[in-house]
Structure 1
């Protein structure tokens, strides 16, 4: 009697065409892939399992994937999942055993870096204050009490997380005439943008030099709570913390205390908790700018996701595995 298949052994490919289920939002953008049959599904239809009743080897999740995560084990024949987001920690608790998972590497780099730069410029040049003055129809050229005029030019920016988003942000910061300190998990050689990349163990030496701390690391066991009270205390007075990664990377109680005292400032696309509840003190703390996790919200997201998915379907057809796997067999 044959032994049952091992669910951890990885995808099993046959000569039959790959069947993939893809959200309707990519219907007009995804080009055909030889050897791959695609069934499109409506992400808003919570009653119908993607695939039209057939087995689905590769499931592409929509940009808003939350409602589908708890139903992954209902998709028959599923072997691989492709996310539309760069972050993936929220998927891991729902990923069935033996299923490969790939995140959307590179899809949102430009949009997220663009927002990070926007948050920096808005905070450094006090744009929220000027917007309020415009609403009041008041010509007010003053800075917030006790605050100097600031700029992005000639600032030192510590980019914590020198991956795709970090590199895209660094490219924009150099165009803005900043000094960039790049930090990754370990020491690495430089590239065309920076002379060297420092390992995360160098943070205590680098934080006191940073006018701006820009966070773009994924949320993992190693990075959860990485920017804690001790790390925040090392930043110089008046420094700006910009987070476009995940809220859990930062100790928000410690951040709130530093910003409430007026010693630090913050510009946040992500928070902990998220969504940030009504009435949370971060909403009204002076020097804090909060936007509702819109880093990847861009017209470029869908065509870039379609191009990325086309590459993933081609790779799976050829090898039986996804590129950029972050979980599952052979990750």
Structure 2
């Protein structure tokens, strides 16, 4: 079967995607119980978005002719365990370029809302209370971005007009970036005490699980704000609660551990915390960018050209090491994650 023929499984109706090659048979499947066709005929699988890991992996076992798996997430760890039976040479691609705008907007929203005391004002409005006074501002603050991939860079782009005092960048390894130097993770102990705002955009790997733990949080200055748009397990929840309860730190969290946060969990009512329900990538910005990515990838695939955003090739990167891959993420839909 050549690259220009075969079935393509899409979570969107094909007629809604401009620029698709005409040589494929397009099958719409967004996680429904019944399959739209025989999985054995699928050569290009665009995974459903915001569906469970079980749903996403279910057709893979029968996709014997598969050439490309295209996720609509920044991360791929929701595929862990489902790639073992695939033929060698299947390319697994992430959705780099799809979630940057939406996630960066939310990171900025959480930061500004927390600094300006918006959660308390909303609660005051519910009680018809007037909460005047002076509040924090983003201007002149020292901001530390932990996880400086494409989302981290998009966050910085949106910070620039707000007259921050400094923006410091941290990634897995040191390098130069257009806005300035990027520090290595090993530099965090030195950098944390100077930061007024710490924004987590890092992927969830074995190295970053629990990264914001007791030592990390203890190094943050009194009154500093922790913003997490990465993955819940990047933060040690109990360690964070220990800092929130006495009011030493503030937090704004789009992701939590556990997730979803269950009723009665102490994080719901901890002081100085703003929680949003993992909506970093779930915005009107998602669908048009996702459809453009799919059209570009299929155009390249039909022409026999290398697809973009390849983060794993079966038979070259053993699936059992997926959890350590720099693009791997922590929860099933990894909707607004990033990677270096």
TM-score range, shorter chain: 0.7 to 0.9
Q: Tell me whether 1:75 sits opposite 2:66 in the alignment.
A: no
State the shift of 1:319 in Å: 4.0
Question: 1:85 & 1:27 partners in 2: Cα distance?
Answer: 22
Match of residue 127 from structure 2: 136
State the shift of 1:137 in Å: 1.4
Match of residue 230 from structure 1: 215
Check the 8 A contact 2:21/2:302 in 1, yes or no: no
Question: 1:166 & 1:198 partners in 2: Cα distance?
Answer: 13
Q: Tell me whether 1:327 sits opposite 2:312 in the alignment.
A: yes
Structure 2 gaps of 5+ residues are 318-340
Question: 2:234 & 2:26 partners in 1: Cα distance?
Answer: 37
Q: Deviations over 1:134-176 (max 9, x none)?
A: 111122215xxxxx73111111110111111111100111111
Report SS of the residue matched to 1:299: coil
Q: Deviations over 1:95-116 (max 9, x none)?
A: 3344432111010100000000
Question: 2:153 & 2:25 partners in 1: Cα distance?
Answer: 34
Match of residue 253 from structure 1: 238
Instruction: Name the count of aligned residue pairs.
Output: 310
State the shift of 1:78 in Å: 2.4
Match of residue 113 from structure 1: 104
Question: 1:201 & 1:53 partners in 2: Cα distance?
Answer: 45
Match of residue 331 from structure 2: none
State the shift of 1:195 in Å: 2.0
Question: 2:180 & 2:40 partners in 1: Cα distance?
Answer: 52
Match of residue 168 from structure 1: 154
Write the mapping of 1:247-286 to structure 2, written as runs, cut at 5 A.
Answer: 247-286=232-271
Write the mapping of 1:77-226 to structure 2, written as runs, cut at 5 A.
Answer: 77-97=65-85, 98=88, 99-142=90-133, 149-178=135-164, 179-191=166-178, 194-226=179-211
Computed over aligned residues only, the root mean square deviation of the Cα atoms, in angstroms, reads 2.0
State the shift of 1:129 in Å: 0.5
Bigger relative contact order, structure 1 or 2 (CA pairs below 8 A, ≥6 apart): 2
Moved more, 302-311 or 78-87: 78-87
Structure 1 gaps of 5+ residues are 1-12, 143-147
Question: 1:319 & 1:185 partners in 2: Cα distance?
Answer: 33
Q: Deviations over 1:233-256 (max 9, x none)?
A: 111011111010111111111111
Report SS of the residue matched to 2:299: helix
Match of residue 7 from structure 1: none
Moved more, 65-74 or 172-181: 65-74
Question: 1:27 & 1:42 partners in 2: Cα distance?
Answer: 14
Q: Deviations over 1:278-321 (max 9, x none)?
A: 11111000101111100011112111001111222233334475
State the shift of 1:62 in Å: 2.0
Question: 1:46 & 1:78 partners in 2: Cα distance?
Answer: 20
Change (3 A) 1:241 1:16: closer
State the shift of 1:42 in Å: 3.8
Check the 8 A contact 1:155/1:212 in 2, yes or no: yes
Q: Tell me whether 1:41 sits opposite 2:48 in the alignment.
A: no
State the shift of 1:26 in Å: 6.0
Check the 8 A contact 2:7/2:27 in 1, yes or no: no
Change (3 A) 1:254 1:104: same
Change (3 A) 1:17 1:199: same
